């Protein structure tokens, strides 16, 4: 039996939610699009393997990203090579340029989630991606995780775009502003401003110490997806 990690790496770019995908260089599914990932080595745990694969396949440094275990996929027939259990990870990144270094990262690219069709991904990666998306959407409600999509300092409008893009809704800018500024230790004002091409400059914030968002930013009742067990 083998153990792999698969990575759902999400970012917001050009007001669309993107996932990092690679083109597979080996069989099975050679040439097909898949989530980045690979085998866990004998003396590392899956967390270490996720960090290593993220660096090798995408050039990203997981220590600077939000990276959490998603869940495991264990169906005996999920990999044609035989029994391969995969531990999936969810990573959230700001809109970083992909280093096209001398690694396998040259095969990695950001793809808009909405552009993916049903059979576009290898293995059971469509399911893993769906689970990752739902986890990310749910955690925006009750945690301060939205800041993981933002650069070290960001404006409230940028933060609002994260919510809008990840949830696929539009939010009232004025109510959103009031809400996030009032939430306990969600944002810390830096005292600096960003001067845009046009319009009034926006105050810059950085993420506060809170991990739990209180009060939560609830999606409207009607927008709640049906929970999967």
**Residue 197: CB minimum distance to DNA, A:** 6
CA torsion 44-76-28-46 (nearest 10°) is -20
**Residue 146: CB minimum distance to its own copies, A:** 14
CB 110 within 8 A of CB 98: yes
Cα dist. 167→9, 63, 200 in Å?
Answer: 16, 26, 27
Helices (H), the chain: 46-58, 125-142, 156-167, 173-182
Distance of CA 74 to the CA centre of its chain: 22
Count of residues engaged in binding DNA, rule: CB under 7 A: 27
- 184-223 positions binding DNA, by CB under 7 A: 193, 195-203, 215-218, 220
What, of DNA, its own copies, none, does residue 46 touch, CB below 5 to 8 Å by kind?
its own copies
Count of residues engaged in binding its own copies, rule: CB under 8 A: 37
Q: Which two tokens stand for residue 203?
A: 């105050």
- 38-57 positions binding its own copies, by CB under 8 A: 40, 42-47
Q: Which residues of the chain form contacts with its own copies (CB under 8 A)?
A: 1-3, 40, 42-47, 66-69, 71-72, 74-76, 83, 85, 87, 141-143, 184, 211-212, 214-216, 218, 221, 224, 226-227, 229
């Amino acid at each position: 039996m083998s153990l792999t990690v698969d990575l759902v790496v999400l970012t917001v770019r050009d007001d669309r939610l993107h996932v990092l995908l690679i083109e597979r260089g080996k069989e099975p599914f050679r040439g097909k699009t898949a989530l980045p990932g690979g085998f866990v080595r004998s003396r590392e745990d899956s967390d270490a393997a996720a960090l290593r694969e993220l660096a090798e396949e995408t050039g990203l440094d997981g220590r600077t990203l939000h990276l959490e275990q998603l869940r495991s996929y264990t169906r005996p027939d999920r990999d044609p090579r035989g029994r391969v259990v995969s531990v999936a990870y969810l990573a959230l990144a700001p809109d970083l340029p992909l280093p096209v270094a001398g690694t396998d990262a040259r095969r990695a690219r950001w793809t808009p989630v909405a552009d993916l069709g049903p059979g576009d991904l290898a293995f059971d990666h469509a399911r893993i991606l769906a689970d990752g998306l739902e986890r990310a959407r749910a955690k925006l409600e009750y945690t301060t995780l939205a800041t993981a999509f933002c650069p070290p300092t960001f404006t409230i409008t940028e933060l609002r775009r994260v919510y809008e893009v990840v949830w696929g809704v539009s939010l009232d800018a004025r109510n959103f502003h009031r809400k996030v500024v009032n939430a306990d230790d969600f944002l810390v004002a830096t005292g600096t401003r960003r001067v845009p091409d046009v319009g009034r400059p926006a105050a810059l914030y950085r993420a506060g110490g809170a991990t739990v968002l209180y009060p939560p930013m609830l999606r409207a009742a009607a927008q709640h997806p049906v929970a999967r067990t």
